[in-house]
Structure 1
Amino acid sequence: MAITFRKSFRILPGVRLNINRHSWSITTGGRHGPRQTHSSTGRKTTSMDLPGPFGWRRTTRRRDH
């Protein structure tokens, strides 16, 4: 069984700092409407909850030159 670590802190209304073993990220937006997450690894995710059990997510990664 793997050991995991994940912690989330609310730093301002609508802004969260998320920390895990490998990276950290900042999430902006609330529970209703779109959310944007920017990770220290270069990943950007936009997501939104839709009515019922549905959701939408789009993830992009930074390209290293």
Structure 2
Amino acid sequence: MPLTFRKSFRILPGVRLNINRRSVSFTMGHKGGPKRTVSSTGRRTTSMDLPGPFGYRNTTTRSSRRRARRADRD
């Protein structure tokens, strides 16, 4: 079983600082409303809980950082 680390701090009402072993991210938004997350890895996520079993999530990743990582691996 792998070891994981994740910690979340509330900075201001509606703003959280999330830390895990690979990145740091900020989440802005309130419960039940739209949320925007920006990560140090370049991932940007917009999400919203909708009534019932529905939800919305859109994730984008900066391509320049992804390309640089691929080049490092080769």
TM-score normalised by the shorter chain: which range applies?
over 0.9
Residue 50 of structure 2 is matched in structure 1 by 50
The amino acid of 2:37's aligned partner reads T
Q: After TM superposition, where is structure 1 displaced by more than 2 Å over at least 4 residues in a row?
A: none
The amino acid of 2:33's aligned partner reads G
Structure 1, unmatched stretches of 5+, are none
If the length of structure 2 is used for normalisation, what is the TM-score? 0.84
Q: Answer with 1 or 2: which has the greater Rg.
A: 2
Instruction: Please list, as runs of the form range in 1=range in 2, the aligned pairs for 1:1-65 lying within 5 A after superposition.
Output: 1-64=1-64
Give % identity. 71
What are the Cα deviations for residues 34-54 of structure 1, in whole angstroms up to 9, with x where unaligned? 000000000000000000122
The amino acid of 2:10's aligned partner reads R
What are the Cα deviations for residues 11-59 of structure 1, in whole angstroms up to 9, with x where unaligned? 0000000000000100000012100000000000000000012211000
If the length of structure 1 is used for normalisation, what is the TM-score? 0.95
Aligned residues: 65
Structure 2, unmatched stretches of 5+, are 68-74
Note the aligned Cα RMSD (angstroms).
Answer: 1.0
Higher relative contact order (CA 8 A, sep 6+): 1
Structure with greater strand percent: 1
Structure with greater helix percent: 2
